[in-house]
């Protein structure tokens, strides 16, 4: 059994993928070939935004967004400690200060009430200027953007949606990547829509931001190749990845439906034994991962061992919150600062999740986990 079965997916669309790759090899436009711009147009339509600017990775998508908003030294950017390091890493790379905010214990996303308190505290201290919020749509579930956008408007903050895991998710009829001022996503192979290498995209309805992003991703280029009007980076998505993603887009809606069907089966089997991620009414997750909370770290270890013994892969997202990582020691956080994130990190683990899991696969996984629950009791 595979944690994420990319080989199975490739076997299904192999002729189309091979043809798309060969087309690029034949026309030879490996950088900013026609497939890149076609992909941008299709992604914007799918997400429901006016503009999409592709880039080299989900990390670059966040970095470029912060650059486009002019965020740097002396600025505060609020985000969650329960995420991959890239979310906060890019803030610090630009000299700004990440301010972490604890998460909700049911959705595992940033807590809007605690966010507002953190902004008020930052304002009262007067040492940093609050500039932006980067909510993370953890495991594919969009954050509470109704509340977050209200808070952003109240304090005049830019909202940058980290939808690295949630492309395809939605709140009612509004899709992930379209919330806030800027949405970002990742096409890392393990993501719901993943390439065969790194890739990312940025979404916005603001023409000025889109224009800046196009410049930033190509070394700050202006109207000509050697006219550089700002500091940028080499953040381009290559044509081969765009060609692959265009083919994967064709099967993405079907795969998304399969992910949701699998998640529903997991939840129906496991809800009474473990804490499963809560999906509020009107929300739909992209289910980049399916994660459950054990009652304790000990129970998690027993469950993961029993799964491994049955040759079923499992993983922990995330074993240590960002505020406790050595990379952020200079921020002077300590254990106990974000009790919800810390508790969840000690108990959470993720199960195989991809569109090609069979009912037998799901039953085997759930049976093992339920036996673990009984063993601990």
Cβ neighbors of 128 (< 8 A, separation 6 or more) are: 74, 75, 76, 97, 99, 122
pLDDT at 134 over 60: yes
Please tell me the predicted confidence (pLDDT) of residue 376.
59
What is the average pLDDT across 64-72? 98
Mean pLDDT across 131-155? 98
Q: Is a pLDDT exceeding 80 seen at residue 364?
A: yes
**Percent of the chain having pLDDT more than 90?**
98
Rounded distance, CA 332 to CA 323, Å? Answer: 8
Work out the average pLDDT over 197-208. 98
Domains and CATH numbers, the chain: 6-101+110-247 (3.40.640.10), 252-376 (3.90.1150.10)
- Tell me the pLDDT tens digit for each residue of 241-298: 999 999 999 999 999 999 999 999 999 999 999 999 999 999 999 999 999 999 999 9
pLDDT score of 374:
66
pTM of full prediction above 0.85:
yes
Mean pLDDT (whole number) for 356-375: 91
Percent of the chain as helix, strand, coil, to the nearest 5? 45, 15, 40
**CA dist., res. 53 & res. 116, Å (int):** 30
CB atoms within 10 A of CB 230: 14
Tell me the two tokens of residue 282. Answer: 């009107």
* Long-range CB contact pairs, 264-267, < 8 A, 24+: 265/359, 265/362, 266/290, 266/292, 266/351, 266/362, 266/365, 266/366
Q: Which of 345, 340, 289, 343 is nearest to 101 (CA)?
A: 340
Neighbours of 335 (CB within 10 A): 10
CA 98/CA 356 separation, integer angstroms: 38
Please report the pLDDT score of residue 163 as a whole number: 98
Note the pLDDT tens digit of each residue in 215-224.
Answer: 999 999 998 8
What span, in angstroms and rounded, lies between the C-alpha atoms of 377 and 374?
Answer: 5
């Amino acid at each position: 059994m595979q944690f994420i079965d990319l080989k199975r997916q490739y076997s299904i669309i192999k002729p189309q993928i091979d043809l798309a790759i060969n087309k690029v090899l034949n026309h030879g436009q490996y950088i900013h070939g026609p497939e890149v711009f076609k992909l941008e147009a299709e992604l914007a339509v799918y997400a429901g935004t006016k503009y999409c600017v592709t880039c080299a990775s989900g990390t670059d998508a966040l970095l470029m967004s912060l650059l486009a908003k002019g965020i740097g030294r002396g600025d505060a950017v609020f985000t969650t400690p329960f995420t991959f390091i890239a979310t906060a890493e890019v803030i610090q790379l630009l000299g700004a200060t990440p301010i972490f905010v604890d998460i909700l214990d049911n959705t595992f996303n940033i807590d809007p009430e605690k966010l507002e308190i953190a902004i008020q505290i930052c304002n009262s201290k007067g040492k940093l200027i609050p500039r932006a919020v980067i909510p993370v749509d953890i495991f594919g579930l969009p954050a509470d953007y109704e509340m977050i956008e209200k808070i952003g408007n109240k304090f005049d903050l830019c909202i940058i949606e980290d939808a690295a895991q949630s492309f395809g998710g939605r709140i009612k009829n509004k899709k992930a990547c379209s919330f806030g001022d800027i949405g970002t996503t990742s096409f890392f192979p393990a993501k719901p829509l993943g390439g065969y290498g790194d890739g990312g995209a940025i979404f916005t309805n603001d023409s000025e931001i889109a224009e800046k992003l196009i410049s930033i991703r190509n070394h700050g280029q202006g109207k000509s190749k050697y006219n550089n009007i700002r500091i940028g980076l080499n953040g381009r998505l290559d044509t081969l990845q765009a060609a692959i993603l265009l083919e994967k887009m064709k099967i993405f809606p079907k795969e998304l439906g399969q992910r949701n069907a699998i998640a529903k089966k997991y939840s129906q089997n496991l809800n009474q034994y473990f804490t499963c991620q809560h999906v509020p009414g009107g929300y739909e997750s992209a289910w980049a991962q399916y994660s459950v909370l054990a009652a304790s770290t000990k129970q998690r270890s027993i469950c993961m061992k029993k799964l491994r013994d049955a040759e079923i892969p499992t993983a922990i997202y995330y074993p240590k919150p960002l505020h406790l990582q050595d990379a952020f020691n200079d921020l002077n956080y300590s254990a106990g600062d974000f009790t919800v994130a810390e508790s969840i990190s000690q108990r959470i683990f993720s199960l195989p999740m991809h569109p090609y899991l069979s009912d037998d696969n799901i039953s085997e996984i759930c049976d093992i986990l339920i036996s673990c629950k009984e063993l601990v009791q």
